[in-house]
Amino acid sequence: MSIRPVDHTSRAVPTIEGAGVHLNRVFGFGDANETDPFLLLDDFRNERPEDYSAGFPWHPHRGIETVTYVLSGTVEHSDSLGNTGRLGAGDVQWMTAGSGILHQEMPEGNASGQMHGFQLWANLPSSLKMTAPRYQDVQGGEIPEIVDDDGTRVRIVVGSFWGKTGPVDGIAADPQFLDISVPAGVKKTFPVDTYRRAFAYIFEGAGAFADASQPTGVLLEKEVAGQEVNIRDMSGNRTLVRFGNGDEVTVQAGPEGVRFLLISGAPIQEPVAWHGPIVMNTRAELETAFRELRNGTFIRAQH
């Protein structure tokens, strides 16, 4: 067994999307080869309704799949095919945009105004770019959760892990999507298929990945007493960790424990032509998609 080394760490970057939603972009719109088969991950976490309530009004997608995982608040969604739904805390929606869909997503905070969730974009191979759109809406109670003897908790959203299988299936990237909580001071190793691209996204607490004995944070420049200094940020909050090759991921939890998404998938290794919410293989395919948006032929008849 070989532990995957840490290839790269970075912090999510604040950005504004939709009609003015303040969120943090973990990765996206960069070199798609670095995270293949995944294209983008957004962390939408906010306690100010004015910073998210305008939501994501009608917009198109083609050539990708999206997973929306809600931790707090709700997300109302509807689309051009007449589908509607509501995602609550703990719920998941996996949408295959395929040949094309127009939809909207409107967030609403909980009783305290808090809204928190993630959206991940996964690429589709050329053979499935124009497949029929579909949804998989999963209630939080359907997602298996395993609690190990040391208190480690794993929610299995997609894929199989520790003898349990998540409820979402038929995804082109054959991903594994886990929500993992490791208690304070615990060192834990998790298997990851050797042939998958893998990353972790820490969103609570702190932890050290790879075979390290002490938790360390991301090296950041901060101003202290009027001077720029490099310090280790121990919060672990909004930290992306990309891994190299191997078949295990090891984490040492910090003094407050650590919670993170562990996501892996099989690389597609195809050309990517990408503009906004549409991801194809060639520039010509992109131009066709936007021409169809303009002339009203973007949505294909469903059989």
Identify the helix (H) or strand (E) that includes residue 296: none
Residue-wise pLDDT tens digits, 114-162: 999 999 999 999 999 999 998 888 999 999 999 999 999 999 998 999 9
CB-CB contact of 181 with 171 (8 Å): no
Residues in the chain: 303
What's the chain's average pLDDT?
A: 89
Burial class of residue 107 (count of CB atoms within 10 Å of its CB; 0-12, 13-18, 19+): buried
CB-CB contact of 117 with 140 (8 Å): no
Residue-wise pLDDT tens digits, 101-110: 999 999 999 9
**Complete DSSP assignment for 101-145:** EEEEEEEE--TTS-EEEEEEEEE--GGGTTSPPEEEEE-GGGS-E
What pLDDT, on a 0 to 100 scale, did the predictor assign at position 213?
42
* More confident: 168 or 72: 72
* More confident: 217 or 202: 202
Instruction: Decide if pLDDT at 282 tops 90.
Output: yes
Q: How far apart are CA 31 and CA 244, in angstroms?
A: 16
Q: How far apart are CA 27 and CA 25, in angstroms?
A: 5
Radius of gyration of the chain (CA): 19
Residue-wise pLDDT tens digits, 267-276: 999 999 999 9
Q: Is 175 helix (H, G, I), strand (E, B) or coil?
A: coil
3-state secondary structure 204-246: EEEEEECCCCCCCCEEEEEEECCEEEEEEECCCCCEEEEECCC
Residue-wise pLDDT tens digits, 26-40: 999 989 999 999 999
